[in-house]
Structure 1
Amino acid sequence: MLNLFLLLSITTLFVAAEKNKSEFYTGGVVEYSSSILTDTSKNVPTEKYLQENLKAYLDFIKSAKGQNVDILVFPEATFNYARSREDMIKYGIELPNPKDKIAPWEHPKSYSETLQKLSKEVSDNQLYVLINLIEKEPCDTVNNDIKCKRKKPDGYNIYNTNTVFDRQGRVISRYRKYNLFNEHFCDMPDTAEVSIFETDFDVRFGHFICFDIMFKEPGLSLVNENQITNILYPSYWFSELPFLTAIQTHFGWAYANNVNFLSAGGNNPRTGTSGTGIIAGNKYVGNTFISGTIEKRLMISQLPKNVRSYKPDGNKIIKTSSVVQTPIEMQTFRPTEDWSTFDTRTWNITNGEVQRVCVHTDICCTFNIRMKEHEIPVGKIAYNYRLAANYTRRIYSYDRSCGELYCSIVACTTNNPKSCGRHFKDNTKLFNAIEFDKITITANIKVLTNPDDILIMPNTLDTSMTPIDSDLFNFGKLRSIRESGSTYERYQIESRDNFNNILTFGIYGRNYALDKFV
């Protein structure tokens, strides 16, 4: 046993030394469909689903090792998620404290068989792995050693938790989701943890979960206060048109913060849930995938360790081609389409003329658009387009009122503005009748007391539900201006190619100062 341990230690040190020499690392992300969430019959015992998921996860870990992946990320809510609080307690997993750096497979009497198997597989394959799971933490209503979160305690706190294993299968980092999205069976931690860990290939990672990306904490604390430029991100995203589909949102956040972003997505197209990607900040999209069908898929790509100083060189990096499904293949993907129920404002596009629209005194958008219109063949359907601008507060989930702003072109299915932010369900007849030769959009946004309370992002989407590659547009911050006694920050997005298949093209932002629970 001692000889085996020494052999593993020597192998690990050799691998680490070789990895440190490279300016890149290889990331892997898994898109995964869990039958417990996609099976509508609900007749199959939960135990059967969980065993199916465990086997699949172990297989993905082996596969990732075979492709020289350094770090692997699994999605949110696809491992031991259950349909009731009782089942979450039954199948939830107790975790060691990351500070103790315990490998559960070495402590069979202390941890569940499931956690031991995961830990052992990671150790056998010698890579870093993030697994999102339902964690159960015994709580005490008497001594209050660990306080129970529920008003009616049931003996446990239940958390939606990221668990990170190192190459030895040790638990080295944990993050409990703070911004819950209709997760009534889970408990909210007291604070938004800032979870960071270091690797033997000289990269520090931070991580958070799904809905967290819409809020200031913990994401911006990782990036701005702790200088983290590599983010691991499990999600089970419910896409919403026209600004908040999965990869569209994740790409915009990664671009605006200029960070490597490894996003692993749950898959359930009938609820608009799909979207997995590896994004190298504002440099390039390494690999993305969104699907209209049930899928289980591993995607890998190389990423620069120092993305902010990296200058793309096609001769050095292996840029994996994304898997893009056609609009016809995406017909079964069902995003939410209730944008028109919010305080939306749209205008007709005037071809070739500069148009300026203002909302209150908080935002003014300038549009300069050149486009060609093609005659729609008989029997075909085509999108119309309108300008959209707003600075408002809207409801996310059921209990969060949040500040949102945008200047954008949006697709509409008819001439009626209420059809904007929707997509055609039958794409077999789709014809691209509008070709945009040039799009320039500038947003003048009133400066806040605390500049850290706002995040402005590029926001693009085509008819395959994927964002436009960063090679095809320019986005950035311009010189600020004074106007009517106020200071405005200016942002601009400009196309570098012509497009005939867009659903959204513009600027999207969040004003965190307007956020509150309702």
Structure 2
Amino acid sequence: AEISQTPACFPAATGACALDRYIGAVLPVSPEEALLLMDKNMAILEAAIKEAARQGAHIVVTPEDGIYGWVFTRETIYPYLEDIPDPQVDWIPCADPRRFAPSPVLEKLSYLARNNCIYVVANMGDKKPCNSSDPRCPSDGHCQYNTNVIFDSEGKLVARYHKYNLFVTEKQFNYPKDSQFVAFNTSFGYFGIFTCADILYHDPAVVLASRFQDDSILFPTAWSNTLPLLSAVQFHSAWAMGTSINFLSANMHNFTLDMTGSGIYAPDGPRPYYYNTEMETGHLLVTELSLCPHLSPNYPAAVNWKLYASRIEQLPSNNHCFSGVIYHDLFSFMELTEPEGNCVICQQDLCCHLSYKMADKQKDDVYVLGAFDGLHVFCLSVSFSLQICTLLKCKSTDLNTCGQPFLSDFMVAPGELPHHSTSQTNTSKPVLSVTLFGRWYEKDPLYTEQASP
């Protein structure tokens, strides 16, 4: 919608809430108008899918929210939803469009997969009627799900996944009753799939990686970079290394919302990735990956952290530490005042050890070693257990800025360090952060429907 340039007018208020009620209005679009908007986005996806197929890709992954966008209420997103059947029905929408309720988006995706002889992974909205006698059934009589769909090269719907770990802003969607572990087999590998915030939780991400032994994970996402620990390329490449699985991450590209960073990551380091914070357009990434990477002798074995920790010389914890906040979490920090050394800092049950040597340190550069052991709490409704060791450059010489995000001329460099960062190495550029990011799933609060899992 166009925004008027005339000044907005609000009732004058002298207190925090001068009025005890207000009048709201919602103007939902019609299904026809919703389809017109989605068709514009589908045209962009169509061009990318055709180019991926031309370059010989077997499968293409598109971003979360890539078809309908974002900033919806439960009511305004409804015209964008389709009733997506269970893939067991063995359905090719473009060949049999009248078998189920009208589904123009499913039909178009099916056509793109079949016409280009390529597997297509897309994110869209699913709607499912529910019984009012079910206490989980919303008052409007249906559930709405953030959903990934996968079509094979013949255009058949082969998989459907309802996002389990919704972000706090996704009020337009419902949580599925149970976590779904969706995986499917192809002639070129065994694939699992989940969406965005799912990567931070045990279910379904770790289950797919460990129990299902997938070759690759497909990851539609709308990921906002959160420096210094949770930028997209940084975190997603680390997840691939930690699980020894190929990871295909398709992120929305909207640099005004800090949504940048798509990539294809292998266990031994990143393949192509795109992290442009200045260009408005995205970029198609295509590369060749190995099947069964966790079985390949070319990939380094996972580190036995317990054994590794037991071999470290036990140094006394630094008593001259101070506190700082990184993304709502209160870290313990110590400044690295010497050009080289061995140091340790502890918080709760976690101790972080560092051996370092600084070359060409600038006068105003301040580096700290940080530790965090506890619950990460975000917006009171999201919490999960973390253990983090991090080496950070501070924003300024003021120690109160340590942990604050800042942007300068920096590069994402996920391939700079050896596997799991357990040996010494040199970096080609000055370091902004090097982090070991640990999740302690058993300490997570129990899931309730009122909070994010």
After TM superposition, the score normalised by the length of structure 2 is: 0.80
Q: Pick from 232, 235, 258 the counterpart of residue 244 of structure 2.
A: 258
Over 3 Å counting, the alpha-carbon distance change for 1:498 and 1:223 in structure 2 is closer
Q: Decide whether aligned partners of structure 1 residues 167 and 413 sit closer, same or farther in structure 2, where only a CA change above 3 A counts.
A: same
1:105-144 correspondence runs (5 A): 105-109=94-98, 110=100, 111-141=102-132
Query: Is 1:405 matched up with 2:390?
Result: no
- 1: distance between equivalents of 2:125 and 2:109? 14
Query: In the superposition, relative to structure 1, how do residues 181 and 79 fare at CA in structure 2: closer, same or farther (>3 Å)?
Result: same
> What does the per-residue CA deviation read over 1:56-104, in whole Å, with 9 as the maximum and x for residues that have no partner?
1222221111111101101111212452222321111221211122111
For 1:414 and 1:243, the matched residues in 2 are separated by: 18
> Would you say 1:187 and 2:174 are equivalent positions?
yes
What does residue 346 of structure 1 align with? Answer: 333
Is contact 2:393–2:433 with CA below 8 Å preserved after alignment? yes
2:347 aligned residue: 359
Q: How far apart in 1 are the matches of 2:332 and 2:194? A: 33
Partners of 2:108 and 2:234 in 1: how far apart? 35
Give the secondary-structure state (helix, strand or coil) at the position aligned to 2:352: strand
Mapping for residues 45-124 of structure 1, pairs under 5 Å: 47-82=35-70, 83-109=72-98, 110=100, 111-124=102-115
Report Cα offsets for 1:193-248 as digits up to 9, x if no partner: 000101123x1100000100000110111121111131101111122122111111
Structure 2 gaps of 5+ residues are 5-25, 300-323
Identity of aligned residues (%): 26
Structure 1 CA distance for aligned equivalents of residues 87 and 54 of structure 2: 27
- The answer to whether residue 277 in structure 2 is matched with residue 286 in structure 1 is no
C-alpha contact (below 8 Å) 2:233/2:414 kept by paired residues:
no
Say if 1:346 and 1:388, in contact at 8 Å, map to a contact too: yes
Per-residue CA distance 1:235-277 (angstroms, 9 max, x = gap): 1112212211111111111101110000000122222211101
Structure with higher strand content: 1
Contact 1:396–1:402 (8 Å) recurs in 2: no
> Aligned equivalents of 2:347 and 2:387: distance in 1?
10
Q: Say whether the 8 Å CA contact 1:73–1:232 is kept in structure 2.
A: yes
User: CA RMSD of the aligned region, Å?
Assistant: 2.6
| Structure 1 counterpart of 2:372 | 390
Q: Is the 8 A contact 2:332 2:345 kept in 1?
A: no
- Matched to 1:56, the amino acid is I
1:275 aligned onto 2:261? yes
Count of matched residue pairs: 392
Equivalent runs, 1:194-209 vs 2, <5 Å: 194-201=181-188, 203-209=189-195
Flag the 1:168–1:375 CA change in 2: closer, same or farther, 3 A. closer
SS class of match (1:106)? coil
2:350/2:372 contact within 8 Å kept: yes
Q: Which one scores higher on RCO, CA 8 angstroms, separation ≥ 6?
A: 1
Tell me the amino acid that sits aligned with residue 289 of structure 2. Answer: L
Check 1:414–1:168 CA distance in 2 against 1; reply closer, same or farther (3 A cut): same
SS at match of 2:373: strand
Equivalent position of 1:509 in the other structure: 438
1:343/1:392 contact within 8 Å kept: no
- Flag the 1:357–1:126 CA change in 2: closer, same or farther, 3 A: same
Deviation at 1:420, TM superposition (A): 2.0
Aligned equivalents of 1:340 and 1:418: distance in 2? 14
Secondary structure of the residue that 1:247 maps to in structure 2? Answer: helix
1:494 matches 2:440 = no
Give the CA deviation at 1:284.
Answer: 2.9
CA distance in 2, matches of 1:370, 1:68: 45
The answer to whether structure 1 residue 416 and structure 2 residue 398 are counterparts is: yes
Aligned residue runs from structure 1 range 171-182, under 5 A: 171-182=157-168
Q: Give how far 1:397 is off.
A: 5.4
Shift of 1:424: 4.0
Stretch deviating more after TM superposition (98-107 or 207-216): 98-107
The secondary structure found in structure 2 opposite 1:277 is strand
| Cα-to-partner distance string for 1:368-417 (whole Å, 9 max, x where unaligned) | 111124556xxxxx642111112111114541221111112112111223
Question: 2:202 corresponds to which residue?
Answer: 216
